Amino acid sequence: MPKITYISSDGAEHVVDAENGLSAMEAAVRNNVPGIDGDCGGMAACGTCHVYVDRAWLGKTGAAREGVERDMLSVTDGAADNSRLACQIALTEELDGLVLRLPSGQH
Amino acid sequence: MATPAADSERARTIPLDEIDVSAPDLYVRDAAHPYFARLRREDPVHYCARSAYGPYWSVTRFNDIVAIDTNHKVFSSDASVGSFVLDDATLNPVNGGIFLPNFLGMDPPRHDIHRMAVSPIVAPQNLARLESTIRKRTQHVLDGLPVGEAFNWVDRVSIELTTLMLATLLDFPLEERRRLTRWSDVVTASPGTGVIDTWEQREKELRECEACFRDLWNQRSRQPPRPDLISMLAHSPAMQNLSAEEFLGTVVLLVVGGNDTTRNSMSGGVLAQHLYPGEYAKARADRSLVPNMVSEIVRWQTPILHMRRTALEDVEFRGKRIRKGDKVAMWYISGNRDEEVIERPEEFIVDRPRARHHLSFGFGIHRCLGNRLAELQLRILWEEVLERFSRVEVVGEPVRVPSNLIRGFVDLPVRLHA
């Protein structure tokens, strides 16, 4: 069970023990982490699970993928080179300790 | 207010290839549901060879709609190859219409540049700034309503609140705000549906709209930047070389997008709670349900019935051969009633699990830009309505908009109970 830390824009930390195989969006929604809605259910199609990957972890998560994820991030305010859609990050033991920061006011 | 029996029967017996869900009269009677139910079951990607808008495909299942909506490389929105609505005359210079190009009718990369020039107006920081204004206005409008006598909710509440909001976003003269309502109605109208009589009249009124906004633009571009939409556009580097057509096209997109949609969700929510009084009682007893109720209203109403794409190449989709140039309609109204994805989809359930998982805002890069603002306005409206009234009773037959694009109301007679 990888431990994931979500940090809100106001600095509040939410630590979640995620089930292997979930996405970082699903783990957040199931544990009521505020600021991640996941309206489309994990298709990279709504942009409501935008996160900034802590730079120390970027090598392991990888950058946003070509295709729908990149396309959505290119129409998302405040997107940066460490932006990902959390629904496209599959959680594995390798990501135990992952730190994700949430943009300000993502609902 | 249920589907007319004649339509239920006809939907059951008509040969599949004769089903045409684009006929606006279906939406006047709110009678399209049984036709869509049959298509979802028997022919979910359906070809209609003859309609008032020419041949077109209908995509009717939730997940198929998401697949089309997110595949903008094959299913284009670009005005150069078609339109994002079934009726070409709405936005293109054909069959009496005029050219109204805007970023919803663009593919990347231009789409992204234009969209990002507009998006700060609905950024979270800006919404936080607007919340107290919205609440004060909502309270004012509701406090001015008569209790115990019949009135038209559409005009007194839905139009009034959404037009005030739009005027604020545009910093449009408040006393002239009903011109915005009129233009919004004119854009999506065609002759013979009660809004305009001729295409010439439509063009004339839209040219007046253009002239009015041109003046505002010129005025704002001479002043320092301010946080209103016109000023933002006037000072945006990406928007400096807009043609007259693109200017009008962008303005009408913002006017319709910020007006018709939320307006009809404000009315649809009233009809929903009237038909499901137990749900209203639930929300009254537990106000924390309001955000979920708002998502359910937006799903249940589905104020945009369809969005259309145009195939850029021959493609096989769910066993059907869609050809380059074919029109493909994604029927959000049908996807939002897809029983394989949404349980008891025809019912209005304020505490529905995963209520945000609906198609009304679309998915992919063209997803509704103002959805957070719409939700904010609806949340405040229902918080204030629940606070004031034990019941909002619909006291007459609703009059619906004759359109296959906008699912809306002209008249919704109601009586408030203290």
**Domains (range + CATH), chain B:** 5-151+258-417 (1.10.630.10)
Q: Does B260 touch chain A (CB under 8 A)?
A: no
What is the separation of C-alpha B305 from the centre of its chain, rounded to a whole number of angstroms?
7
Is 60 exceeded by the pLDDT of residue B369?
A: yes
Lookup result for tokens 């140039």? B325
pLDDT value at residue A74: 93
> If residue B168 lies in a helix (H) or strand (E), which one and from where to where?
helix B160-170
A24, part of any domain: yes
Contact list in B for residue A44 (CB cut-off 8 A) is 70
Nearest to B365 among A37, A75, A77 (CB): A75
> If residue B320 lies in a helix (H) or strand (E), which one and from where to where?
strand B320-322
CA–CA distance, B275 with B272 (Å, rounded to integer):
5
A84, part of any domain: yes
pLDDT value at residue B242: 87
Q: Does A39 touch chain B (CB under 8 A)?
A: yes
pLDDT value at residue B244: 85
Cα→Cα distances B156→B144, B150, B198, B274, B312, Å: 9, 11, 28, 18, 44
Which residue in B64, B70, B288 has the most chain A C-beta atoms within 10 A of its own C-beta, making it the best mutation to test that interface?
A: B70
> Above pLDDT 90, what percent of chain B?
90
Q: At a CB cut-off of 8 Å and minimum separation 6, what does B348 contact?
A: B272, B273, B275, B276, B279, B296, B297, B300
**Cβ of B123 and A105 within 8 Å?**
yes
Which residue in B365, B369, B375, B378 has the most chain A C-beta atoms within 10 A of its own C-beta, making it the best mutation to test that interface?
A: B365
Lookup result for tokens 């050219």? B99
**Cβ of A45 and B364 within 8 Å?**
yes
A106, part of any domain: no
Give chain B's count of helices (H) and strands (E).
17, 12
Q: Does B353 touch chain A (CB under 8 A)?
A: no
**Cβ of A46 and B123 within 8 Å?**
no
Is 70 exceeded by the pLDDT of residue A107?
A: no
Which residue in A29, A65, A74 has the most chain B C-beta atoms within 10 A of its own C-beta, making it the best mutation to test that interface?
A: A74
Pick the residue from chain A with its C-alpha nearest to B111: A75
Q: Does A74 touch chain B (CB under 8 A)?
A: yes
Pick the residue from chain B with its C-alpha nearest to A72: B365
DSSP per position, chain A: --EEEEE-TTS-EEEEEPPTT-BHHHHHHHTT-TT---TTSSSS-S-TTEEEEPGGGHHHH-SPPTTHHHHHHTTSTT--TTEEEGGG-B--GGGTT-EEEPPTT--
**Cβ of A75 and B70 within 8 Å?**
no
Contact list in A for residue B354 (CB cut-off 8 A) is 41
Domain, as residue range, for A22: 3-101
Interface of B with A in 82-111 (CB under 8 A): 108, 111
Is 90 exceeded by the pLDDT of residue B310?
A: yes
Is 80 exceeded by the pLDDT of residue A106?
A: no
Give the total number of structural domains in chain A. 1
Pick the residue from chain B with its C-alpha nearest to A46: B363
Q: For the residues B301-305, what does the mean pLDDT come to?
A: 98
Q: Does A8 touch chain B (CB under 8 A)?
A: no
Q: Does A79 touch chain B (CB under 8 A)?
A: no
Nearest to B70 among A68, A105, A106 (CB): A68
Contact list in B for residue A74 (CB cut-off 8 A) is 108, 112, 365
pLDDT in tens, B255-300: 998 888 999 999 999 999 999 999 999 999 999 999 999 999 999 9
Q: Does A37 touch chain B (CB under 8 A)?
A: yes
Torsion-angle region of B244 (φ positive above 0: left; ψ -120 to 50: alpha; else: beta): alpha
**Cβ of A74 and B361 within 8 Å?**
no
Q: Is residue B377 classed exposed, middle or buried when 0-12, 13-18 and 19+ CB atoms within 10 A define those classes?
A: buried
Q: What is the mean pLDDT of chain B?
A: 95
CA–CA distance, B123 with B114 (Å, rounded to integer):
15
**Cβ of A37 and B356 within 8 Å?**
yes
Is 80 exceeded by the pLDDT of residue A105?
A: no
Is 80 exceeded by the pLDDT of residue B326?
A: yes
Residue A56 distance to chain B (closest CA, Å): 28
CATH of the domain at A72: 3.10.20.30
CB pairs under 8 A between A and B: 56
pLDDT value at residue A77: 87
Is 80 exceeded by the pLDDT of residue B163?
A: yes
pLDDT in tens, B63-99: 999 999 999 999 999 999 999 999 999 999 999 999 9
Q: Does A46 touch chain B (CB under 8 A)?
A: yes
A107, part of any domain: no
pLDDT in tens, B186-231: 999 999 888 999 999 999 999 999 999 999 999 999 999 998 999 9
* Secondary structure letter of residue B2 according to DSSP: P
Q: Does B126 touch chain A (CB under 8 A)?
A: no
Confidence of residue B109 (pLDDT cuts 50, 70, 90): very high
Confidence of residue B145 (pLDDT cuts 50, 70, 90): very high
CA–CA distance, B360 with B301 (Å, rounded to integer):
8
**Cβ of B116 and A72 within 8 Å?**
no
Is 80 exceeded by the pLDDT of residue B1?
A: no
Q: Contact, B239 vs B231, CB < 8 A?
A: no
pLDDT value at residue B2: 72
